[in-house]
Structures are given as C-alpha cells and as structure tokens.
Amino acid sequence: MTIWALFFSTGLFSEELKDRALFRYDNEVVFLSEAKDLIKSLEKFRCLKDDWLSLKVTKLTKKDFLHLPKLGFDKKSLREDRQFINRFIDLQKLKTFTKDQLVKIEDSELVAINKTSCFPRGHKSWPVEVKELVKLELYIKSRYVKEADNKEEQVRRLNSFFTSIVRKSNENLFF
C-alpha cells in the first residue's frame, strides 16, 4: 500500500503514463519518445540534402518533411499518421541492416555532404542517428548505384534491395 502512495505522491507513476510503445520491428520496441527523437534526427538528415536515395526508396517524400507528424499520445492521431509511421519503420529497418555492414567512409565524403547551415561545426558534430543515416546512404550508393547503369536498372536494383530487407523482419504497430 505504501509503495503505491510513493508512486502517486512523487509523480513516478504519472511519468510512466507519458510514454507508450509505438511499434516493434525485429526484436526492437520503439517508444513514442524515441520515435520523436528519431524524427528530429531525420529532419537534420534531410537538411543536409533533399534527394537521399534512402528516403526515395522508402517513399518518405518532401511533403512528409514539410509536415512531419507530431505523433500524439492518443490512438486517433497515431492512426492518422500510420502511412508515415510505416515508411519510417522501413527506413529504420534499412538503417539497422547497414549497422552490421562494413562501409568504408572517407572523411572527404562527409565533408562534401555537410552543409554549414545544418551543422556549423561540421560533420563531426552530427548526432549518431544522422551518422547512421548517412552510412545507410553511402552503403546504398556503393552497392546499388553504378555509373554505367541506366536509371531504370538502378531503380530496379535499389527496389529489390529494399524489398528484401523490409520483408526479412516483421513489424507490429501498437495502436
């Protein structure tokens, strides 16, 4: 009985109710608070460049970034953002896949990508999430975009990669 009084009087119990599980992919559960932080990093990633292949293949469009969802706590607002959340999960799956891949990234590539309007201190100040997204992008370019190929072949190869990764793991939405 005194334990419950402690939870209510200190506010610990109310803190627990401010977050919720949003979705699961592979064996990772992402909570609403985490998703909001990931979306903020996505905004910073998008600031670096408009036409990332990783965003194109997941169909995260410029329109999505003009009105990034706030991801409210209630189920109704989450259902309204379902399409964005599904695309966002796909991007997380791709990013998770590339974490285990050996991708050689030259410092000069990162310097070339950086925009001082996004990160005045340069690429060394990028948040971890932005670095992981850039690694994903450089992996995609090194493996699936060949200069000699025509655009159709590149798109076919990239979509094949995307489909294989997304199908490897299931996801569950918790709303």
What is 60-108 written as a DSSP string?
Answer: --HHHHHT-----SSHHHHHHTHHHHHHHHHHHHHHHHHHTS-----HH
What pLDDT score was predicted for residue 16?
52
Give domain status of residue 58, yes or no.
Answer: yes
What pLDDT score was predicted for residue 6?
46
Instruction: Work out the angle at residue 40's Cα, subtended by the Cα atoms of residues 111 and 12, and round it to the nearest 5 degrees.
Output: 135
Give domain status of residue 129, yes or no.
Answer: yes
Please check whether residue 22 is in contact with residue 173, taking contact to mean a CB–CB distance below 8 angstroms.
yes
Give domain status of residue 2, yes or no.
Answer: no
Tokens found for residue 62: 């410029």
Is the whole model's pTM more than 0.75, yes or no? Answer: yes
Nearest to 99 by CA among 123, 134, 72: 134
88 CB contacts (<8 Å, ≥6 apart)? 35, 38, 39, 42, 58, 60
Give domain status of residue 39, yes or no.
Answer: yes
Give domain status of residue 6, yes or no.
Answer: no
Averaged pLDDT, groups of 10, the chain, 175 residues long: 50 63 92 91 84 87 76 86 93 91 85 86 89 92 79 87 92 91
| Distance (Å) of CA 12 to CA 8, 15, 17, 26, 33 | 7, 5, 9, 30, 17
Give domain status of residue 10, yes or no.
Answer: no
Domain count, the chain: 1
151 CB contacts (<8 Å, ≥6 apart)? none
Give domain status of residue 61, yes or no.
Answer: yes
Q: For residue 156, give its domain range.
A: 21-173
Give domain status of residue 11, yes or no.
Answer: no
